[in-house]
Structure formats: structure tokens, C-alpha cells
Structure 1
Amino acid sequence: MNKRPFLFLACLTLLFPMTCEAAKNVAVEVTPAVGYRQDSLKWTANDKSSGQWKNIKFIEYGAKAKAVIKDRYVFNFDVMVGNLIGGSFQDNNYLNPLLASSVPAQKGSSLSFRPNFGIGYKFKPKRCFALVSQLGFFYELLYLKTKKVNSGPFSELKDTVQWFGPWIGLDTTTKLTQRLTLDLGGAYQLAFYRNSATWNTPFIQTQNRTNQKATGQGVAGRVRLQYEVVKSVSLGGEADIAWKWTNSGHSTRKFADTPTVKNTLTKVTARTWGARLVLTKAF
């Protein structure tokens, strides 16, 4: 008599309760999101020259995932992508105090990419209130281009801006009613800044280049309000804002047909804010 089928059924019988118990101990949420984001960035060098991306607007979309193990250990992962719909680059005394100019950003070929990961521990002092202490890592990439122009020092600027680093934060979740939930969060970031760009000066064929590097910090906050429309499905909205800054760094520039120029990057400031519609499915 072949005993293998009976052994297989016995293994399934033993594993099924363990699988069910593991499933009970893990809660998963997946949240697609779509909305609007606006960024601004300004850098200043020790020779008083500066450049500024102003009111860079994106249509933003992506997804967020959260897993909670044993109602205590929290894992978050977000990925958001944005397509540029407006904005401009302005130089302030970059080459000549009398020749400051503004160049429109190029729509369609500029984008943003923002993944974010966090792990945390959940405290639940009350049934309707939870507190999560977290640490994680963020990354922000802006790939920005300007239009081709026939005046001013900048034409066809291609700029790659990166911020990245670890963060620590605190999130709270409050059940306002049986179906309505409010989430609040804040974080402090150690922010590393990198910027590399190329551009043309009208009527000069050789490309100009610049590279910037600095270390700074940042703060971020967010709010989300959701309503459970049916069991395990919630609809809502969220908003966030963040500031980042550096106090010193390094900048190198290579102008057309001239040696490389090294400067001290005295300050970089950046601000971003966004608002989105979110739809959460709990498993």
C-alpha cells in the first residue's frame, strides 16, 4: 500500500493551522495614490551667484504598501513618480548682475522619483489610538530640463537633483468614528544633496557643466484622512510638506573653453509639498 498520499495529507493537516495563524498575525494594506506636487530649490555659492528652480509642478502617482506583524512591527514602502507640468529656472547674478534671466521648464521630459522605506514599532495605549516610532531611508530624484532659448546664459539646461538619507519619525493613527480614521506623521532627516547639470549658452556650441555636493538636514510632516466605504476598503485624501537645507558644500563649474572653477556652496534650500487622493485596500 502506497503511504505517500496519506503522509502528504497529514502534512497539509499540520501546516494548515500554522498558515492560518501566520495570516492572522500579518495585516497588509495597499494604497494607490494620485495627486499634485510642487517643488522649489535654490542654491547659493560664495561668489554670490545662485540658481533657483521655482514652482516646479508635477502630476504625481504611485502606490504605498504597509505590513503589520502581530499588531506591533510595522513595515512601510512608498514609490511615487511625477510628470512635470510647469515651472522655471532662474539664475540670479550667475554670470552678470545685469543679466539675470528666467527659462521655462520643459514639459514631458522632466520627472520626479521618490521611493521611501520605513520600519517601526507600534504602541497602542488606547483601542482607538496607536503610536508608531519609525526609522527609514528616503530618496528623491528630480530630473529637470529647460527649453531652448536664444538669450540669457542658460539654454537647454539638464539638471539631476538628488536628496537621500536616513530618517527617524513618529506616526499616529486615531479612529475618530467607527469608519473615519486620521493619520498624522512627522520625521527628521539627515539629507545628502547631489546636483549635476549641463547647459548651453546661446550661440556657443560647447556645453557647460556643474557638480554640487553638500550635507544637510530636513523635516517632513503629513496628514491623511480616510473613510471606510465598505469593509476593508477606504477612500480619502492626504497631504505632506517637507523642508531640506544645507549650510556648506562644494561646487565645481566647467564653462565652455575655460578651466574648471571651484566654489564653496554656502547654502541650498528646498521645499516640497503635495496633496493626493488615496484608495486603501486592507488584506
Structure 2
Amino acid sequence: MCRNLFTLLTALILSFLIPVSARAFDLLPIESAGLDLGVGYRSDKLDWSISNESDGGSPDILSELTWDNLHILQLQGTGWLELGELPFLRRNSLLIATISLGKIYSGDAQDSDYARDGRTHEWSRSVSDADHGMTADFSAAFGPIFELKKAPGLSVTPLIGYAFNMQALKMSDGEQVISDSITRQQYFPTAGLPPPVGKISGLDSTYTAYWYGPWLGLNTDYQVSKKFKMTAGIEYHWVDYFAQADWNLRSDFDHPVSFEHDANGTGVVWNFKGRYLIDEKWSWLLKGNIQRWKTNNGTDRTYFDDGTVGNTRLNKVTWHSYALTTGLEYLF
């Protein structure tokens, strides 16, 4: 399913950006425009944990999930328009939108459970492959362009935008590496025993995370020479976080939605781009991207197979990402 969705969304990059850019020429006072498409490598890490009670009781970390070393093949498309003076602005402005799609081809996941505070008395740990899944990102922004007269070739653009980010993560081919039934029964006498050490048969669990909300940022452009231009940008995001999971081997959980996460958070994104002009219409691009996201405390809502619902505290979610992309840009 992820493969078909990845193919579909890849086609949407072209089917969305190209027609929108073409129609914009007829509707807006456009000074210049560009459309680029690139492919690259991305590395992600996502981690979350929950406590034993909704108010953060002991243990403070009951369960912790980590997806690490996620290696991702990413396709990215960007369309931008430099607009002439608008009725509410006395200077040129930038309108920009970016879509990124990624296919996870390698990664690791770890699920740990603890009986005491501070990640102590670990009574269960399983590791698994995370080499399936996908990512999708969309961001759009608008802002006025300020040319710095005392620094020829240098301009700054404050931006206001909105972004949506998604990670569809999976766990398969699992192995139980810690199984301490004595500790489990000592601290949780009414709960079931952990699986025995060894291979976990039939593991096919999913966790899909969504980050969405407004952001403010600043782009700085410097025309190094007639052919080479550099751009550096920073964005600060305010996000709502929502996630759904299907823990397929937990017979006491409901399916296909075993639990949900809700929280608010923030993110910081650094962008870097170098553009080398090949001819009047085409440029070669190299882009870099660093992202740091985290949530505040939130809610973990678990759905059981008997129809009951349990709530506990989601401690926090963190997401780190690095990406490097290269491609071509067409200048209209």
C-alpha cells in the first residue's frame, strides 16, 4: 500500500505544481518564477514515551518507542513566484510552496518497558526492522523581499507560512531481547507476562505521526556571481501533533486503531540552497535541510478490545531529520 501511495503522491508533485504555476501567470503580477524537482537522501529519528498515569505517575517512563537510523529516499518539488508590487505592499514579494515525499528503505525500531522511574528496572525490550513506510511534507509561505542597498546582491525575506508533515512508520521482523517476568509480576501483578526472548512471529505494527501548523521564518539570498546564488533560511513552527497506531500483536487492543496521541509542540527548520545557472532557463540545485521538533506533554488514548478507553500521559515526542537533495530548476 505504501508503495502505491508513494507512486501516487510522486505524480501529484508534477500534477499540482505545474498547473498552479501556469495559472498563476494569468492572475498575479509576476516578475519571475521557478519550478524545481530533485531527489536526495534523508535520515530521521522519532522517539516517544508515556508515563504510568495521566498526571505523570510512577514510573515516569512506562513505555518508550524509538525509530532510529531511518534511511529515506526523498523526492522534492518546489514552485516559487516573485511578485511585483501588490496593493498592500510597496515592494516585491515571494510566494513559495514545497512538496516532499520519502520512501523509507532502512531503519531500526526499539520498544522498551520499565517498572521504575528514570528508565530503571527494564522488564521488556524488543527490537525490529523499520525498513518500510513513507514520509510526506508540504509547506507554503509568503513574504516581502527586502533588497539591501548597502550590500549589493543581498536580500532578506521574512516569511509567514503553514506546514504539514507526516511519517508513516512500521515495525516488522521483531526480536525480544529482554523478558523479565519476575520484575513484571513484582510491579504489575495483574498484567500479563512479556513474550519470551527470541523471534517475534507476525509483527506488523504501524505508527503514523502528523505535525501541522503555522510558522514564521526568514530567508537570506546572496548573489555570489552571475551564475551562482546562495540561500539560507530558518523557520520556527507551532504545531499540533496527532498520531495513530496499530499494535497488531496486542490482542487486548482494538484494531486498526490501538491508541492515539495528541499534543502541542514546536519545531525549528534550517534550510540551505545553492543554485548554479546552466543557461537562461535551467539551473542546478543543491539543497540541505536540518529539522528539530518536539512536543509538550500530551495524551495517550488507548482503545481496548472490550470497548473501553484508557488515558495516560504522553511525555513528549521528538523528531530529528537531516536531508540533502540535488536537482534541476526551470526558470520561467
TM-score (norm: length of structure 2): 0.72
* Aligned residue runs from structure 1 range 207-226, under 5 A: 207=255, 209-226=258-275
CA RMSD of aligned residues (A): 2.7
C-alpha change, 1:150 and 1:258, in structure 2 (3 Å) is farther
Instruction: Give the drift of 1:203.
Output: 8.6
Partner Cα distance (1:240, 1:25) in 2: 28
Superposed CA offset, 1:144-174 (max 9, x none): 2222547577821111111111000000110
Contact 1:138 1:164 in 2 (8 A): yes
Aligned to 1:125: 148
Partner Cα distance (2:154, 2:245) in 1: 47
Structure 1, unaligned runs of 5 or more: 1-19
Q: Percent identity between the aligned chains?
A: 21
C-alpha change, 1:58 and 1:253, in structure 2 (3 Å) is same
When structure 1 is superposed on structure 2, of 226-235 and 110-119 the one drifting more is 226-235
Instruction: Give the drift of 1:62.
Output: 2.6
Aligned to 2:82: 68
> Which residue of 159, 174, 179 maps to 1:134?
159
Instruction: Give the drift of 1:38.
Output: 1.3
Partner Cα distance (1:88, 1:194) in 2: 22
Aligned to 1:97: 122
- Amino acid paired to 1:174: Y
Superposed CA offset, 1:40-88 (max 9, x none): 1111212312111112221000310000111712110111111111112
Partner Cα distance (1:42, 1:215) in 2: 15
Partner Cα distance (1:240, 1:159) in 2: 24
Instruction: Give the drift of 1:22.
Output: 8.9
> Which residue of 168, 181, 184 maps to 1:143?
168
* Aligned residue runs from structure 1 range 142-221, under 5 A: 142-149=167-174, 151=176, 155-201=203-249, 207=255, 209-221=258-270
Aligned to 2:291: 242
C-alpha change, 1:202 and 1:227, in structure 2 (3 Å) is same
Partner Cα distance (1:216, 1:203) in 2: 32
Aligned to 2:32: 27
Contact 2:253 2:303 in 1 (8 A): no
Partner Cα distance (1:38, 1:52) in 2: 14
TM-score (norm: length of structure 1): 0.84
When structure 1 is superposed on structure 2, of 226-235 and 96-105 the one drifting more is 96-105
Superposed CA offset, 1:105-160 (max 9, x none): 143xx111111111111000134111101010000111122225475778211111
Partner Cα distance (1:135, 1:249) in 2: 26
C-alpha change, 1:265 and 1:232, in structure 2 (3 Å) is same
Partner Cα distance (2:285, 2:300) in 1: 43
Aligned residues: 262
Aligned to 1:8: none
Residue 268 (structure 1) aligned with residue 273 (structure 2) = no
Aligned to 1:53: 67
- Amino acid paired to 2:265: G
Partner Cα distance (2:249, 2:213) in 1: 34
Superposed CA offset, 1:216-250 (max 9, x none): 11111011112112123211211011111112100
* Aligned residue runs from structure 1 range 5-44, under 5 A: 25-44=30-49
Higher strand share: 1
Instruction: Give the drift of 1:261.
Output: 2.5
SS class of match (1:239): strand
Partner Cα distance (2:209, 2:26) in 1: 46
Partner Cα distance (2:27, 2:123) in 1: 68
Partner Cα distance (1:30, 1:275) in 2: 18
Partner Cα distance (2:124, 2:326) in 1: 42
- Amino acid paired to 1:67: L
When structure 1 is superposed on structure 2, of 217-226 and 202-211 the one drifting more is 202-211
Give the number of the structure whose alpha-carbon radius of gyration is greater.
Answer: 1
